[in-house]
A and B are shown apart, each in its own frame.
Chain A
Amino acid sequence: MCNPGRCLAANTGFFNLDSGKADIFRDALVIDPLAGAIAGAQNHYGHGPEVGVVADVMSEQTLQGLIGKTALGDRAAFASLYDETSAKLFGVCLRILKDRAQAEDAMQEVYVRIWRRAGSFRAGQASAMAWLVTIARNQSIDMIRSKQPASIEFDDAPEIADEAPDPEAQAALSAEGRRIDACLKELDADRAAAVVGAYVEGSSYQELADRNGVPLNTMRTWLRRSLIKLRECLNR
């Protein structure tokens, strides 16, 4: 049994995007959306039978220790942190940027940020790996967005309407224990796939709309509605 995140991602067909060759390197404004903002993240690594892929990732405690030492300017700890996490984060950058040269550029910026922001990591608020992956995702997404239109004319904030869950879609998704998986099951299968695909692939609204064959504003309404339903479920 595969976990729903992976199955959904595999079914979305989002794998062959050509993100182009432009090498614009957006001068990243250093706002740290994560500083103190990640709350209550659970450590999803090294626990449970479904996470064999990340079995080689160091323990949460060890990673936290390396981040803490990095915050104190310990370069050897930073080097160890790189050694232990660079494969995972390179995987993130590659998946989103879909270009090795750009992914390497992203990695450089990601670890510079990690070095500079290590002090903002709060053990207990976020898992170390979740914090690191978020930095890699943000960097990669910012890089691809910088090559796309900087703004999109959306209609005014789409109305959020309730919609009954689709029992078939719920049954189609496998049963797993985690909250996000359970809540994704309450969405229509295609909507859940859009959420997972957007997260994992770093898709833009325009790309999601194109893939789903719907207008941009319809796509946004779908996704925002899905997010509201997810949030309601997650808060239960």
Chain B
Amino acid sequence: MFDNVWLIPFFPLVGFLINGLFGKRIKNEAVIGGIGTLMIFMSFLVSCGILMQMIGLPPEQRLFEKVVFSWIHSGNFKADMAFLIDPLSCVMIMVVTGVGSLIHLYSIGYMHGEEGFYRFFAYLNLFCMSMLLLVLGSNMLVMFIGWEGVGLCSYLLIGYYFHKKSAGDAAKKAFVMNRVGDFGFLVGLFTLYWWLGSNHNVWTINFMEIKAASHLLPYGGVVTIASLCFFVGATGKSAQIPLYTWLPDAMEGPTPVSALIHAATMVTAGVYMIGRMSFVFIKSPDTMMVVAVIGAATAIFAATIGTAQNDIKRVLAYSTVSQLGFMFLAMGVGAFWAGIFHLMTHAFFKACLFLGSGSVIHAMHHALHHGHLHDDPQDMRNMGGLKKYLPVTFLTFFVSTLAIAGIPGLSGFFSKDEILWQAFSNPYQGGLNIVLWAIAAIAACFTAFYMFRLVFMTFFGECRINPKVKDHLHESPAVITIPLIVLGTLALVGGFIGTPKILGLLPNYFEKWLDPVFELANEYGSKYAQHTAEPSHALEMGLMAFSVVVALVGIGIAFTMYVQNTGLPKKFTDTFPALHRAVYNKWYIDELYDYLFVNPCKALGRFLWKGFDVVVVDGVVNGVANVVMAFSGVFRFIQSGYIYNYAWSMAFGVVVILGYYVFK
């Protein structure tokens, strides 16, 4: 089965080609959607097969590299189109293909009636192919192809409704910010390659070869530079401070896009990359600290913005940025498996949340359309009381919200709690432990608050939609609700493969599964870890209880403000108008970036256009033409047509030539 790993990215590539080239002629939506979904589902089946085979092997043997073809061999530089199967990539391909298949199925219903239906499925398949290349790549170049590919598909899909200027702008913003990150990734790649090559004659970009040579890397120094550059790439791709502002704008794309790309898969690429290169990152304590600090800062920063947004998708977008911050916090404190665990559970519940919000928007849009109203179907202030109209959507949405808030038993609780515990007890960050934990705990409180605010405003209370169209609200069709149910179930029970040891319920399958991948990193880390006493079980249980309390506090505040006493939000914003304005306007970061980067760039462009291109380049070209014209204006009088002039010039020429020979 391992030999067939190349099929995993190949199926969606075929789907992209069929839908892209012939989709316009295949008018049947079921066929187009069917092909798209079938392709990714077949990748899912192959991934399952590979997982089964991996489980059957003993842990030391769970590593396989499949070279599809030898691609570049140039001097010392060798890059093959090769795929790496190990426990980490297994997790990733299962998540990508599994959640991807569900979202493809969902899209058949959601994108019904759209003019560019085939285009959507073509791009979605292309995206899946790129993402699978990214996670399966066995060297940095194949990963980078996938890395760039997902950025491209993100641009194509955010700008899907290209008739809207806001969608085009958002797509460009996403792509440009991604590019800034990609530059960091490339610089990191080059630094690592060059350093290992010129200092130890190990010329490679293959992950396993770098892992084998990683004992040659120093602690700090060049590793800090390279890993920081890689982290810049991660901030761009995974929307961390400072390159996160594209993600809320990316909600211009259709909801399945938001679910797949900006919740479950593309934005997790940065986390995966750090996991893949854990043995490089761990050797730089400074980078680890930067990663952890930025992760925590992003978590709380985005959480604050999410509390004041009214668009249902914006809230979920900021929630994604915040949860990604948690994942990076985990990676930064050396709990790599916890970061990947949260990646997986987040994929489940966030995809469910986005798809659920899509179902809500779909219903709202349908109802408003009936009444020929132009209210915003995504604005939560127009919603309310939807739980009796959309029961299945409500149930799955509620379950996923419980998961993200960290209610015990659900998947989000186990992953988030593990991150909080690791932040508190990790031996790498010295004095920062408590600070990081405290920030993360506050962010968790905010998370619970704004998510339940969303649920209460959307599903509970009185229905604020225009009464005329209320009766047109109805539940979405099965193609939409089945993926919701599957994802909701996964959000409910998916956490049980990673329960912490001290609860004594089940062994921590997930941590053991990923052990071989992060073993080396843990070994390197132990060289500079501060060996504190073994953290007590009581402390861990205490912190676990505390995080539950924190979540309940957040839910309680949301309940008070949005169900019991609905006048409270208004009183709050009236008491703190400046604070509310700042938070509502995303702390004016977009305006800051405009001032710092966008406007200077535009000014430079304008100068290069008007000052250089028009004056210098056009001037030179036109100038040459003008000089030629001036000369010709003088010379044309030679051709006068008069025999006199011609005869005189002949005589003159004879005299000159004779004179030359006489006087030579």
The finding on whether chains A and B are genuine partners in a shared complex, rather than unrelated, reads: no
Residues in B lying within 8 Å of A, measured CB to CB = none
